[in-house]
Structure 1
Amino acid sequence: MIQKGFNLNFLTWNLYLGANIVPLFFPPPTKEELPKITEEVYRQFSATNFPVRARAIAKQIKEINPDIIGLQEVAIWTLSPPQGTKASKVVTDFLNILLCTLKKR
């Protein structure tokens, strides 16, 4: 049942993963090509500088002050060494960065 006079403000935002990952899969790279392609994808991702973008997104969220926020492409980027070695290392956690940035505001 919809209540008269009830307003709900919402915001949706695509955080964008920060790189074109298609070259990693189509066509499948050879073992020799994979490191170079992976490095390029990571370079693209790094260049989009999510912590800086998160500040701009947090500013918009605070200005709009939505009741509900929908987020797309909320990624966790990790670096994984060759199989059988140390565990993966989280490089960037989009949700954590955005939430911390919002708390600071």
Structure 2
Amino acid sequence: MVEAFGTENVTSDVALSGASTHAWTIDALVKSEQADIAVSVVGPTPASISSTYVKLDDIRRLEDAPRTVAALARRETFKADQITILNRTARLIDLSATIAEFRRLAA
């Protein structure tokens, strides 16, 4: 992400309150001219899927919410139903995506 957006535009481990006012820790907050992007890394375990879903769903319900992105650790290890669940609350990207793919998140 830093390569795609620059060190000055990417902050790691950010506390961000959702619509519920609960403060969530997200893995990265990306600032771009087009949009702010809240990124949470997710693995294929049920606990990771559910916690990422709840966190990003709460954040996306904010007025002027950042875009929500679930960064998948090894997409090929996720089941189809897990992808469907995460797609309901976030754009999905594989952690091994190219710089161009990461930049498209802001488009």
TM bracket, shorter-chain basis: 0.3 to 0.5
TM-score normalised per structure 1: 0.35
Largest Rg, 1 or 2: 1
More strand by share: 2
Structure with bigger RCO (C-alpha 8 Å, 6+ apart): 1
TM-score normalised per structure 2: 0.34
